[in-house]
Amino acid sequence: MDITQYMEQVGRQARLASRAMARADSAQRNRALLLIADAIERDAAALRAANQLDLDAAAAAGLAPALLDRLTLSDKAIATMVEGLRQIVALPDPIGEISGLKFRPSGIQVGQMRVPLGVIGIIYEARPNVTVDAAGLCIKSGNATILRGGSEAIHCNRALAKLVMEGLQGAGLPADGVQVVDTTDRAAVGALITMPQYVDVIVPRGGKGLISRLMKEATVPMIKHLDGICHVYIDAMADMKKALDVAFNAKCQRYSPCNTMETLLVARAIAPRVLPELAKLYAAEKVELRCDPESYKILEGYPQLVRATEEDWATEYLAPILAVRVVEGIDEAMDHISTWSSKHTESIITEDYSDAMRFLREVDSASVMVNASTRFADGFEYGLGAEIGISNDKLHARGPVGLEGLTSMKYVVFGHGEVRK
Amino acid sequence: MDITQYMEQVGRQARLASRAMARADSAQRNRALLLIADAIERDAAALRAANQLDLDAAAAAGLAPALLDRLTLSDKAIATMVEGLRQIVALPDPIGEISGLKFRPSGIQVGQMRVPLGVIGIIYEARPNVTVDAAGLCIKSGNATILRGGSEAIHCNRALAKLVMEGLQGAGLPADGVQVVDTTDRAAVGALITMPQYVDVIVPRGGKGLISRLMKEATVPMIKHLDGICHVYIDAMADMKKALDVAFNAKCQRYSPCNTMETLLVARAIAPRVLPELAKLYAAEKVELRCDPESYKILEGYPQLVRATEEDWATEYLAPILAVRVVEGIDEAMDHISTWSSKHTESIITEDYSDAMRFLREVDSASVMVNASTRFADGFEYGLGAEIGISNDKLHARGPVGLEGLTSMKYVVFGHGEVRK
């Protein structure tokens, strides 16, 4: 069987299984999740052995240490996966809720019911924990899933797939409810993203390179996350302590997440006071500052001072580097954000009520904040309970995507024999 | 300027205007709508004259009478457009509403704010009224709009565009808030659907042919409506009067809408009683019945009786033709629907509580009904106040799409200097 036929079969099986997954009640879906958690605990040693095969092959192939690290299924990683599944069980069931049910003048009662999307395709890099996290969220939300993990994790993913299948069957659900694509052939990805007849949405989890590649070819809609060029704007009326706390935390709490600040905008009136104080904090963390002429002048003498070029406004550093620019005020700040932001997360630091309200209303990003660190922009901090990804799109799901992002609202009509006049 | 450059300019202007449209308050947007309504009333004679140029050209080109009819801007059509704009003014403003604002353990307050999508592209056939209806809904929802109407209506659309622009400017909004593409070159459509940097969503309004063509090329997301192969299933436990009323109304109230029933499924136990009664009603309307062997046998002697082929299950007739099939019960009915439905609207006629609940839950269509005519599936009957289109998609907007479908939810965070630990 060639790869096209194989993926066609996987797709057809997923579509078929999706009906049974959607029909299953809460108890049945939760039971499957608990059985999978138990099976992973029970077979931890075998999982580590499978993972060792992946690690040996990856080491022999000269995989970078950071990638080897993500590929490793440690005891702690296994415990976290198991705990994650049990936490998903504890979340409220998103499926079947009917909202807005109202009588209409015709006599019919109309509302909307939350239902599974159907079949979710997840494409991710060589991180075995994603296999279980993603399967868990899709089972909870009544969807069938096709998982395509990085080929370096194939042994581990196969072993996990077996346990997931066992859990599904133990709960009376179809084994095909979650399928792990069992080939390292890259053509499988191309097939997966062009089967709208079988796949309702693709959630790609990975770097910008992966997503850009998929965007060119996909005919299935994607819930996609590109990059996070996040801004903090310190307004003229900012509280100094809040400005220092937030601007330091937004950059330095962790460098690699997408919700880390990459550009700091400061109002002209407050820049000479706030920038030198901030620089002391950044200096302790060896943060390189890439400054526009005005902030450069204020910060002259800072150990890692660099002149910013236009490219800096468009760069997601994911590193101890920060672009800095002085602006006249909120309008120039919002113009800068409108031009350069990736529409992920922006925060204003101000005590001015009208500026706060304008910023919240007018900044067109997935998360817009007042006096809070951009680092809060994630599903857990927002109370979604779990996160399948973060969306840079405006349609369907925007910002952190929880279980609801894997569902759709259909109209339901309760009638009593009504006909249209 | 070639067509690519022209569309690039239209796109850039729309993106720029979208910021001012989004910032405008309710009163300003409503004022623009009222000014446009007044201007159309005032210039009705000039609009009819412009329309006459289109009609003369279309008649000379041999356009079909049905298309000429849709192209005609009668006094009544003008009055309806004006009335439509004033009704949109009366609808509640969807923009700026914040929902679910809750404190999180970290101290931040998180909610979601409804905001405009940005730039909406509308592609439609030669129906001048759509120009005004669509512009009205986009202005109300704070979006900038690019309208591409059928080339046969270009004179009329130009005249309408001038009045819309006048209304926008009169309310202090940018004239580019609504742009009518001023060329009959078809390449303009190709450009419009491949400018994701300028256009956030495309709403195509037109036949299946148009949509299928756009789907192949579009890189901008679409809120699209394909076809309506809608089913009514008469369950064994159906009330006879409701079954006759609904099955007759769903087919015969109007033949051309997408929510008209195209296939009737009848439970074996009730078929011999209900089908002959129904046939009497259909015979009076000269409805052709395309029957599976079992229903054919029951209906032998019906004047327009035809044997159904598999193609009939997949056909949207939009005509006095109905496919009929006898099924064992609800499971076989739902299997048929799952295989053949276009996922638009399906209705079950039953007094059985469990069958009703199963049908509502398990049928994967945009609208699922109990004891009601499929003809109710539209924005006005559902209470949306207005309808920009009907979506066959599961992501973002499903079923009838009102003003909310032209909006997006962004997260807003009210902080007090909180930082991530």
Classified as helix, coil or strand, A369 is strand
DSSP character string of B1-32? --HHHHHHHHHHHHHHHHHHHHHS-HHHHHHH
A106 touches chain B (CB under 8 A): yes
Task: Report the chain B residue with the minimal C-alpha distance to residue A347.
Answer: B413
Query: Residue A382 — pLDDT band, cuts 50, 70, 90?
Result: very high
List Cα–Cα distances, B238 to A15, A99, A417, B42, B241, in angstroms.
31, 27, 10, 55, 9
- Asked if residue A273 is part of any domain, the answer here is yes
Residue B106 has pLDDT above 90, yes or no: yes
**Cβ–Cβ below 8 Å for B412 and A369:** yes
Query: Residue B392 — pLDDT band, cuts 50, 70, 90?
Result: confident
DSSP character string of A76-89? HHHHHHHHHHHHHH
User: Which DSSP helix (H) or strand (E) runs through A252?
Assistant: helix A240-252
User: Min CA distance, A168 vs chain B (Å)?
Assistant: 20
B359 close to B368: Cβ distance less than 8 angstroms: yes
Specify the pLDDT at position B184.
87
Query: What type of residue is B33?
Result: L
State chain B's mean pLDDT as an integer.
95
- Asked if residue B420 is part of any domain, the answer here is no
DSSP character string of B146-189? EEE--GGGHHHHHHHHHHHHHHHHHTT--GGGEEE-----THHH
Question: How large is the average pLDDT for residues B338-355?
Answer: 97
Q: Which residue of B370, B399, B420 is in closest CB contact with A410?
A: B399
Q: Which residue of B96, B200, B221 is in closest CB contact with A361?
A: B96
- Asked if residue A419 is part of any domain, the answer here is no
A111 touches chain B (CB under 8 A): no
Residue B385 has pLDDT above 90, yes or no: no
Residue A44 has pLDDT above 90, yes or no: yes
- Asked if residue A60 is part of any domain, the answer here is yes
Secondary structure of chain B: what % helix, strand, coil (to 5)? 45, 20, 35
Mean pLDDT is lowest, of A340-344, B47-51, B225-229, for B225-229
The string of pLDDT tens digits covering residues B202-238 is 999 888 888 888 888 888 989 988 889 999 999 999 9
CATH number reported for the structural domain that contains residue A245 in this entry: 3.40.309.10
User: Contacts of residue B110 in chain A, CB cutoff 8 Å?
Assistant: 381-383
* More confidently predicted of B416 and B214: B416
B360 touches chain A (CB under 8 A): yes
Question: How large is the average pLDDT for residues B165-179?
Answer: 97
User: Contacts of residue B253 in chain A, CB cutoff 8 Å?
Assistant: 419-420
> How many other β-carbons are positioned within 10 Å of the β-carbon of residue A192?
24
- Asked if residue B125 is part of any domain, the answer here is yes
Residues B100, B109: Cα–Cα separation, whole Å: 10
Residues forming beta bridges with residue A354, ordered by sequence position:
none
Q: Which residues contact A190 (CB under 8 A, 6 or more apart)?
A: A217
The string of pLDDT tens digits covering residues B270-299 is 999 999 999 999 999 999 999 999 999 999
- Degrees (nearest 5) of the Cα angle B55, B61, B65? 60
pLDDT > 70 fraction of chain B, expressed in percent and rounded: 100
Q: What is the dihedral of CA A351, A355, A361, A363, to 10 degrees?
A: -100
Specify the pLDDT at position A156.
95
Residue A373 has pLDDT above 90, yes or no: yes
User: Which DSSP helix (H) or strand (E) runs through A203?
Assistant: strand A201-205
Residues forming beta bridges with residue B391, ordered by sequence position:
B399
Shared domain for A76 and A163, answered yes or no, is yes
Shared domain for B65 and B151, answered yes or no, is yes
- Asked if residue A386 is part of any domain, the answer here is no
| Tokens 């002697």 belong to residue | B301
Query: Residue B43 — pLDDT band, cuts 50, 70, 90?
Result: very high
Specify the pLDDT at position A67.
87
Q: Is A83 exposed, middle or buried (0-12, 13-18, 19+ CB in 10 A)?
A: exposed
Helices A128-140 and A154-170: crossing angle, nearest 10°?
A: 20
Q: Which residue of A245, A376, A419 is in closest CB contact with B249?
A: A419
Residue A217 has pLDDT above 90, yes or no: no
Residue B126 has pLDDT above 90, yes or no: no
User: Contacts of residue A399 in chain B, CB cutoff 8 Å?
Assistant: 410-411
Q: Which residue of B118, B369, B414 is in closest CB contact with A415?
A: B369
| Tokens 């990804």 belong to residue | A389
What is the token pair recorded at B343?
């996922």
Task: Cite the beta strand spans of A23-159 per DSSP E.
Answer: 98-103, 109-116, 119-124, 144-148
Shared domain for A77 and A129, answered yes or no, is yes
Shared domain for A309 and A353, answered yes or no, is yes
Q: Which B residues in the span 46-75 are in contact with A, Cβ-Cβ below 8 Å?
A: none
Q: Which residue of B362, B373, B419 is in closest CB contact with A23?
A: B362
User: Contacts of residue A19 in chain B, CB cutoff 8 Å?
Assistant: 338, 362, 364
**Cβ–Cβ below 8 Å for B410 and A398:** yes
CATH number reported for the structural domain that contains residue A11 in this entry: 3.40.605.10
State chain A's mean pLDDT as an integer.
95
Helices B128-140 and B26-42: crossing angle, nearest 10°?
A: 160
User: Contacts of residue B368 in chain A, CB cutoff 8 Å?
Assistant: 113, 410-413
**Cβ–Cβ below 8 Å for B110 and A361:** no
Question: How large is the average pLDDT for residues B79-89?
Answer: 95
User: Contacts of residue A395 in chain B, CB cutoff 8 Å?
Assistant: 117, 200-201, 221, 395-396, 408
Q: Is B323 exposed, middle or buried (0-12, 13-18, 19+ CB in 10 A)?
A: buried
- Asked if residue B394 is part of any domain, the answer here is no
Of A364, A413, A416, A421, which to mutate for an interface test with B (greatest number of B Cβ within 10 Å)?
Answer: A413
Specify the pLDDT at position A206.
79
A113 close to A414: Cβ distance less than 8 angstroms: no
Question: How large is the average pLDDT for residues A99-107?
Answer: 96
Residues A120, B247: Cα–Cα separation, whole Å: 36
Q: Which residues contact A361 (CB under 8 A, 6 or more apart)?
A: B23, B96, B113, B115
Shared domain for B17 and B92, answered yes or no, is yes
Q: Which residue of A366, A369, A413 is in closest CB contact with B415?
A: A369
Residues A222, B219: Cα–Cα separation, whole Å: 12
Shared domain for A350 and A284, answered yes or no, is yes
| Tokens 């990085």 belong to residue | A150
What is the token pair recorded at B207?
């036949």
Residues A277, A244: Cα–Cα separation, whole Å: 8
Shared domain for A97 and A186, answered yes or no, is yes
**Cβ–Cβ below 8 Å for A417 and B377:** no
B281 close to B248: Cβ distance less than 8 angstroms: yes
Task: Report the chain A residue with the minimal C-alpha distance to residue B24.
Answer: A362
User: Contacts of residue A393 in chain B, CB cutoff 8 Å?
Assistant: 221
| Tokens 């970078």 belong to residue | A64
Query: What type of residue is A65?
Result: P
Q: Which A residues in the span 363-382 are in contact with B, Cβ-Cβ below 8 Å?
A: 364-373, 375-377, 381-382
Q: Identify the top-confidence range among A26-35, A391-400, B200-209.
A: A26-35
Shared domain for B41 and B156, answered yes or no, is yes
Residue A225 has pLDDT above 90, yes or no: no
Shared domain for B82 and B213, answered yes or no, is yes
> How many other β-carbons are positioned within 10 Å of the β-carbon of residue A254?
12
Task: Report the chain B residue with the minimal C-alpha distance to residue A114.
Answer: B361
Residue B195 has pLDDT above 90, yes or no: yes
Question: How large is the average pLDDT for residues A6-11?
Answer: 97
Question: How large is the average pLDDT for residues A187-210?
Answer: 91
Q: Which residue of B376, B398, B411 is in closest CB contact with A399?
A: B411
Q: Which B residues in the span 253-282 are in contact with A, Cβ-Cβ below 8 Å?
A: 253
B108 touches chain A (CB under 8 A): yes
Shared domain for A140 and A10, answered yes or no, is yes
Of A219, A344, A364, which to mutate for an interface test with B (greatest number of B Cβ within 10 Å)?
Answer: A364
Classified as helix, coil or strand, A50 is helix
Shared domain for A167 and A265, answered yes or no, is no
Residues B190, B191, B196, B200: is their CA dihedral positive or negative? negative
Beta carbon pairs, A and B, within 8 Å: 223
Q: How many helices (H) and strands (E) does chain A have?
A: 15, 16
Question: How large is the average pLDDT for residues B403-421?
Answer: 96
- Asked if residue B322 is part of any domain, the answer here is yes
A322 close to A289: Cβ distance less than 8 angstroms: yes
Query: Residue B397 — pLDDT band, cuts 50, 70, 90?
Result: very high
Q: Which residues contact B400 (CB under 8 A, 6 or more apart)?
A: A411, B367, B377, B378, B379, B382, B384, B387, B390, B391
**Cβ–Cβ below 8 Å for A408 and B394:** yes
A169 close to A28: Cβ distance less than 8 angstroms: no
What is the token pair recorded at A97?
């809720």
Domains identified in chain A, total number = 2
Of A99, A237, A392, A394, which to mutate for an interface test with B (greatest number of B Cβ within 10 Å)?
Answer: A394
Q: Which A residues in the span 147-206 are in contact with B, Cβ-Cβ below 8 Å?
A: 200-201
Q: Which residues contact B210 (CB under 8 A, 6 or more apart)?
A: B123, B125, B204
Shared domain for A58 and A197, answered yes or no, is yes
Q: Which residues contact B122 (CB under 8 A, 6 or more apart)?
A: B130, B134, B138, B145, B146, B147, B148, B202, B203, B204, B205
Specify the pLDDT at position B174.
97
Question: How large is the average pLDDT for residues B157-163?
Answer: 96
Task: Report the chain B residue with the minimal C-alpha distance to residue A119.
Answer: B394
Give residue A70's domain range.
3-223+400-414
User: Contacts of residue A343 in chain B, CB cutoff 8 Å?
Assistant: none
Q: Which residues contact B96 (CB under 8 A, 6 or more apart)?
A: A361, B113, B114, B115
Residue B110 has pLDDT above 90, yes or no: yes
Residue A249 has pLDDT above 90, yes or no: yes
Residue A207 has pLDDT above 90, yes or no: no
